[in-house]
Structure 1
Amino acid sequence: MSENKQNISSIPNPFLEQLGIISEEMADGRAKISLDLQDAHMNSWQITHGGVLMSMLDVVMAMAGRSLHDDQKGVVTVEMKTTFLQPGGVTGARLEARGHAYHQSATMCFCDGEIWCGDKLVAKANATYKYLRSLRAKAGLQRLGGSD
């Protein structure tokens, strides 16, 4: 993660740090992250790998849902649908992902997200997240190898 950017999320995520994702905003059901594309983010056609795009969408939507709680309780992804609209960018470009939590219940949150490369809309997604009850629930997921 960039040294000059504040990590807005209170939950550390080594995977995002490895990708180079920068937290930009996270408040009131909205979130924004960015990524400066490098060779490691490219697929065999030298455009952004779809897995990078899906990871960004999943993270930004989860952040939007978590921002609705003062304690930024964790979430787990229940389902996610992604539509790729055009190539995601090349080395040197900057991607920006924006997430919005449009509905929540006591245990679930429903979000949408978009990825932009400049003025190009690259991908859109919708997802459902389940709120974790506590950090103890997170510890339980780790003991079980990730299953709930």
Structure 2
Amino acid sequence: MSDSVPNSNVISQIENPFLDYLGIVSGEMKEGKANLFLDLHHHHMNSWQITHGGVLMTLLDVVMAMAGRSLHDDQKGVVTVEMKTTFLQPGGVVGGSLEARSVAFHQSTTMCFCDGEIWSGDKLVAKAMGTYKYLRSLKSKAGLVKMGGSD
């Protein structure tokens, strides 16, 4: 996969240019579990030439949201309420690959709670826990603008 070519695997029905740019590849998303994959390129690195923590946190946030969404047949949208991340070791270098895994371990009618992990081969790189709020689908750009507070 080239650094500038968006991936062809759809993570959700909604376009997300940031995830496309990163090259995140969707794995499974069902029954409260999800996983994602990322081949590491130069634009994923920090100044020390190891995977930037923001890339790792993005993977964790997205995979946990997917796990929560998978508990609903309509794959209802979610937004992150809070997320705690622990970095255990460097996340990899150019040419490496990562797998993000998540399990939704509890849900209510409006929220879900998830655990996430990132693996580089057999090495655990980072762990996270997140809380996500379920949303109804936003049917218009006006709904998104209202939610975001700007245009």
TM-superposed CA distance for 1:7, in Å, is: 1.9
> Which contiguous aligned blocks of 4+ residues in structure 1 show a shift greater than 6 angstroms?
none
Name 2:3's counterpart in structure 1.
none
Correspondences of 1:1-148 after superposition (within 5 Å):
1-3=6-8, 6-136=9-139, 140-145=143-148
TM score, norm. by length of structure 1: 0.91
Residues 110 and 96 of structure 1, relative CA distance in 2, 3 Å threshold = same
Structure 1 residue ranges without an equivalent (≥5): none
Task: Determine what percentage of the aligned residue pairs are the same residue.
Answer: 74
1: CA distance, partners of 2:86 / 2:72: 28
2: CA distance, partners of 1:101 / 1:11: 21
User: Secondary structure of the equivalent of 2:148?
Assistant: coil
TM score, norm. by length of structure 2: 0.89
1: CA distance, partners of 2:122 / 2:62: 21
- Opposite residue 76 of structure 1, the aligned amino acid is V
Structure 2 residue ranges without an equivalent (≥5): 1-5
Residues 87 and 70 of structure 1, relative CA distance in 2, 3 Å threshold = same
Are the counterparts in 2 of residues 41 and 48 from structure 1 also a CA contact under 8 Å?
Answer: yes
TM-superposed CA distance for 1:138, in Å, is: 8.1
2: CA distance, partners of 1:31 / 1:41: 22
